[in-house]
Chain A
Amino acid sequence: MRIVLLFGLLAAVLAGCQEGPASADKAAARPDGARLYTQHCAACHGDEGDGGVGVPLNLPDFQYGVSDRFLKETIRHGRPGRVMPAFPTLSDAEVDALVRHLRTWAPGQPLTPTDETIEGDPRRGKALYDKHCVSCHGAQGEGGEGTGVTFSRPRDLPIIAPALNNSGFLAAASDKLIKAALMNGREGTPMPSFRKQGLSEQQIDDIVSYVRSFEQQPDPTAVGSADDEPLTISRESPHSVEETVAAVKRAAVGRNFRIIRTQTLEDGFFPEAEQNPDQVIVHFCNFDFLNRALAIDPRVGLFLPCRVTVAKHEGKVEVTAINPKRLAYLFNNAELNRLCEEMAQTYNAIIDEATF
């Protein structure tokens, strides 16, 4: 009986996986683009695509200026090192549903995708790029500072200029799309129409060729794989828990950190007398460092203030901290990498000193 039930279930799942003619049932089973957008995109791009942390998606010039393929490739690849994550685990049907949802904000005919290469002279294009584009997009196409994250800081522009040398951008944007942006501009953003500014179509083609040549350079914003980094920084201490906690505090204070709080891991979960005294967390902070980190990406506050844990396990005292370089993978923000490297060095130095 159970086998029959399981076969029934299996048949139902298989039926759901099959492609077939459109039907009411199938339509009902289509991924819900609005729900997916709310889950994956709205926190940064706003509920109605107005932008905020991420770029505005509902501007008519953006909607008509980009193809569905550009949107799909952007969702798939993200922008390595520029906050916008890749969504490799979304199914094709889910990506399609997301794009359909984005298109509800500006129904009409968007740019038609094409693989046609725009023929231009990248050397002439570089001269034009240096004159017209560098001030916003950077000398190497690295984009505006801030990696798109503004959060609660004052902002005077609706978007931060995109990084044109970003591998995700170059994979998603066709020559035709880049040309259309240069020809028409993007109303509602600082991007002007360079036709209206007096450039000829050939000059615009030259700039497109130069931007495309960024593909020949290594992507400077790429963030490495998390698999390359251990989850934690850890050392065994030759001292007791109590002595090691004191040594961690001395080492942190010696590096200009202020001790914020010392607690057991179980603080807040069990009455004080029942807490495990052999799992101690030392919280410390350098406010200059904290503010530098938050200014780059406020989400990093999730891992602040700094903390080192001293825990006794199977007779050994271990001193452990999160590995900030592992976290760079989470945030996909190249500007954070340097600070993560700095913090990893600091954790290592504190733990080395405390376990000496």
Chain B
Amino acid sequence: MMKRLTLLFSLLMLLTPAYSVDRLLMARTEQAFPEAMLKLQETIKKHGYTVSRVQRVDIGLTQFGYETDKYRVVFFGKAEEIRRMSSEYPQLIPYLPLKIAIFAEEEDTLMVSFSPLQLMETDEPELNSVLENWTADLQAMLADMRNDNE
């Protein structure tokens, strides 16, 4: 019985079209930077994550010809998950916590992150499962930010 179920499930997985994941995950919102910044932090929290830090990456940008210095990186994660994953998979530590860069692009605001699944895909099912979840959550957060345009 279990064998049949497993076989059927495997067949279903094979027949279900794989969803496409970009390496860099990007979103544009028509919101101005301050509003987008607030909205992004709310969105991250809505998806069950804790914002651990907001890092400025804008020192001196205007001196180098930029029209704006509105540039931040928002770090976030789930506390217990960060603890468990960094302990079990220390190779992940340089890429943790998760993060989204956010910066002004003329009147709009752009957000960028990367797909953990695309960058770090492994043969370890448990790790891959977490990478898939992170990627799906990042995609969902950016989709929420895009939906504010509608």
Measured CB to CB, the residues of A under 8 A from B are 2-3, 6-7, 9-10, 13-14, 17, 38-40, 42-44, 46-47, 52-53, 85, 87, 89-91, 94, 151-154, 226, 231-232, 234, 265-270, 276, 279, 287, 290-291, 294-295, 298-299, 301-302, 304-305, 307, 309, 311, 313, 318, 320-322, 326, 329-332
B146 is contacted by which of A7, A10, A42, A53 (Cβ under 8 Å)? A42
| Dominant secondary structure at the B interface | mixed
Instruction: Please list 19 pairs of residues, one from A and one from B, whose beta carbons are closer than 8 Å in the complex, sorted by A's number.
Output: A2-B5, A3-B5, A39-B146, A42-B28, A43-B27, A47-B30, A52-B105, A152-B104, A152-B106, A153-B67, A226-B119, A231-B91, A266-B82, A295-B64, A299-B24, A299-B26, A301-B103, A307-B94, A309-B94
Interface residues of B in 50-82 (CB under 8 A from A): 50-53, 55, 57, 59-61, 64-68, 71, 73, 75, 77, 79, 82
Report whether B94 and A326 are in contact in the complex, using a CB–CB cutoff of 8 Å.
Answer: no
Task: Name the residue on B nearest A294 (C-beta).
Answer: B61
User: Which one of B4, B8, B105 contacts A151 once the chains associate, using CB atoms below 8 Å?
Assistant: B105
Question: Is A265 a contact of B82 with CB atoms below 8 Å?
Answer: yes
B81's nearest neighbour on chain A, judged by CB, is A269
Known: A152-B68, A290-B57. A320 touches B93 (CB 8 A): yes
Kindly state the interface size class of chain B when it binds its partner: 35 or more
What total count of A-B pairs have CB within 8 Å? 166
Taking A6-B12, A269-B83 as known contacts, 4 extra A-B pairs with beta carbons closer than 8 A to each other, sorted by chain A number, are: A6-B8, A291-B61, A301-B57, A302-B112
Measured in the bound complex, the distance between the Cα atoms of B119 and A151 in whole Å is 24
> Which 9 pairs, one residue from A and one from B, show the smallest C-beta to C-beta distance?
A268-B52, A43-B26, A89-B20, A269-B79, A302-B101, A301-B57, A43-B28, A322-B94, A152-B68
